C-alpha cells in the first residue's frame, strides 16, 4: 500500500548565533539540529504516534511537515507530491494536512468568537460562496458542542471544550492527515477519554490519518498502530506499537516503558533505569548519544555512532546492542 506521508532523512537546524557573533566567538558550526536523519511513513487511515521526552524534537518535526519551519535537508512527500517551497502550492498542502496545537486555549485568539475561529480556515482558503455559518454549525455538532458555543470566546471554554474547538478547526477543510500535538495534555482523565473517542470516531467515519505527538505512553498504546521513539532529534526505535510494548529493543524505550506507573498497590517495581539529564543539543555526546544515560553502555557506544538495524520487518532500532537481540 502506498504511504500517504513519506519522510526521508529529514534534518531541521536552528542557528544559535549570527555570522558576526559566531566569528567573534570562534564558533565553527553555530547551529543545532532539532531533527536529524528522521525517516518514516504513515499509511492512510492509520495512527502514527511519536513519543519522547520534552525537547526531543517531536513538535519541530510536526511543524516541519506542515511547512511551519524550514527543513535543512531530506524530503517530505504527501500523496506522492513533495513539500512545496511556499505560495499557493503550500496553501493547498495545508488544506490536506491540519495541525492541532499543544495548548488548546493559547492557540485560539481571545479576540474572536468560537464561530469566527472555526470559520477562519474557510475564509483563509477561499470559502467563496460556501455558507460558513452552516458549516460552523455542522462542525460544532460533529465535535459534540452545542451551536450556542459559536458565540462564546476562548476564555469562556474549559480545556476539553477548547480542545474540541481545535478539532473542529482542524477538520474545517476536510484534511486527510491531522497532526495532533499532545491532544490530551492538561485534561482530566474522563475528558481525555472523550477526546480520544472523538478522534477514533472521526477516523472511522472519515478515514483520517493521525500523527499523534505525546508523552503519554498509555494513550500511545491505546490509539496508535505504529509508533516511533525520539531522542535528541533522532528516531532510536520505531515499529508496530504492539511489538514495541511487548518487547522494546532500545534501552531508552525500555526505560520509558518501565517508568510508567502500574495501578497495583501490591506490585513493587525495580528502580527505573533512566537516570541523569538529557544532554544539550549544543554539545551532543560522541558515539551513541544515549550512552551517558544508558545502563548497558560499553566502550564502543562512547566512540561509534550506531546506525539503524532491522530487528524485524518494519521494526528498526538505532543501537549497537539492542535488548533481546542476538549479538
Express each pLDDT in 194-244 by its tens digit: 899 999 999 999 999 999 999 889 899 999 999 999 999 999 999 999 999
Pairing between β-strand 97-100 and β-strand 315-318 as defined by DSSP bridges? unpaired
Express each pLDDT in 6-18 by its tens digit: 999 999 999 887 8
Does the structure show a pLDDT above 90 at 26?
no
Query: Percent of the chain having pLDDT more than 70?
Result: 94
Cα separation, 17 vs 21, in Å, equals: 6
**Element (H or E) spanning 255, and its range?**
helix 251-258
What is the spatial order of strands in the sheet that 73-78 belongs to?
A: 31-42, 5-15, 73-78, 81-82
The C-alpha torsion from 85 through 91 and 97 to 102, rounded to 10°, is 90
Cα separation, 17 vs 187, in Å, equals: 38
Does the structure show a pLDDT above 70 at 35?
yes
Which pTM value belongs to this model?
A: 0.91
Cα separation, 178 vs 66, in Å, equals: 10
Q: Which of 135, 129, 225 is nearest to 173 (CA)?
A: 135
Contact in structure between 119 and 174 (CB atoms under 8 Å)? no
Domains located in the chain, CATH noted: 5-317 (3.40.50.300)
Cα separation, 24 vs 211, in Å, equals: 42
Summarize the chain as % helix, strand, coil (round to 5). 35, 20, 45
Q: Which band of pLDDT confidence, cut at 50, 70 and 90, is reported for residue 249?
A: very high
- From the number of C-beta atoms within 10 Å of its C-beta (0-12, 13-18, 19+), residue 306 rates as buried
Q: Which of 231, 209, 233 is nearest to 48 (CA)?
A: 209
pLDDT of residue 276: 79
Beta bridge partner(s), residue 212: 49, 180
Cα separation, 318 vs 234, in Å, equals: 9
Express each pLDDT in 294-318 by its tens digit: 988 999 999 999 999 998 889 999 9
pLDDT of residue 269: 59
Amino acid at each position: 500500500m502506498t504511504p500517504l506521508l513519506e519522510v526521508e532523512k529529514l534534518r531541521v537546524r536552528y542557528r544559535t548565533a549570527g555570522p558576526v557573533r559566531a566569528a567573534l566567538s570562534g564558533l565553527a558550526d553555530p547551529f543545532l539540529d532539532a531533527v536529524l536523519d528522521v525517516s518514516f511513513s504513515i499509511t492512510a487511515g492509520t495512527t502514527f504516534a511519536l513519543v519522547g521526552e520534552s525537547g526531543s524534537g517531536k513538535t519541530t518535526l510536526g511543524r516541519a511537515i506542515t511547512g511551519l519551519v524550514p527543513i535543512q535537508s531530506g524530503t517530505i512527500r504527501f500523496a506522492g507530491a513533495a513539500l512545496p517551497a511556499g505560495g499557493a502550492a503550500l496553501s493547498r498542502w495545508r488544506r490536506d494536512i491540519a495541525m492541532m496545537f499543544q495548548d488548546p486555549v493559547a492557540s485560539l485568539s481571545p479576540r474572536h468568537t468560537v464561530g469566527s475561529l472555526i470559520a477562519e480556515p474557510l475564509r483563509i482558503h477561499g470559502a467563496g460562496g460556501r455558507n460558513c455559518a452552516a458549516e460552523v454549525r455542522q462542525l460544532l455538532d460533529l465535535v459534540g458542542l452545542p451551536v450556542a458555543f459559536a458565540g462564546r470566546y476562548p476564555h469562556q471554554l474549559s480545556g476539553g471544550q477548547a480542545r474540541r474547538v481545535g478539532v473542529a478547526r482542524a477538520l474545517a477543510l476536510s484534511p486527510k492527515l491531522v497532526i495532533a500535538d499532545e491532544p490530551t495534555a492538561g485534561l482530566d482523565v474522563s475528558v481525555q477519554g472523550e477526546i480520544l473517542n472523538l478522534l477514533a470516531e472521526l477516523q472511522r467515519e472519515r478515514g483520517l490519518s493521525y500523527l499523534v505527538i505525546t508523552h503519554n505512553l498509555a494513550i500511545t498504546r491505546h490509539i496508535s498502530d505504529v509508533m516511533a521513539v525520539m531522542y535528541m532529534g533522532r528516531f532510536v526505535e520505531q515499529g508496530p506499537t504492539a511489538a514495541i510494548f511487548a518487547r522494546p529493543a532500545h534501552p531508552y524505550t525500555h526505560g520509558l516503558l518501565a517508568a510508567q506507573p502500574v495501578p497495583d498497590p501490591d506490585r513493587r517495581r525495580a528502580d527505573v533505569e533512566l537516570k541523569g539529564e538529557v544532554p544539550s543539543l549544543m554539545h551532543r555526546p560522541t558515539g551513541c548519544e544515549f550512552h551517558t544515560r544508558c545502563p548497558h553502555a560499553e566502550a564502543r557506544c562512547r566512540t561509534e555512532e550506531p546506525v539503524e538495524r532491522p530487528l524485524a520487518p518494519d521494526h528498526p532500532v538505532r543501537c549497537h546492542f539492542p535488548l533481546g537481540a542476538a549479538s
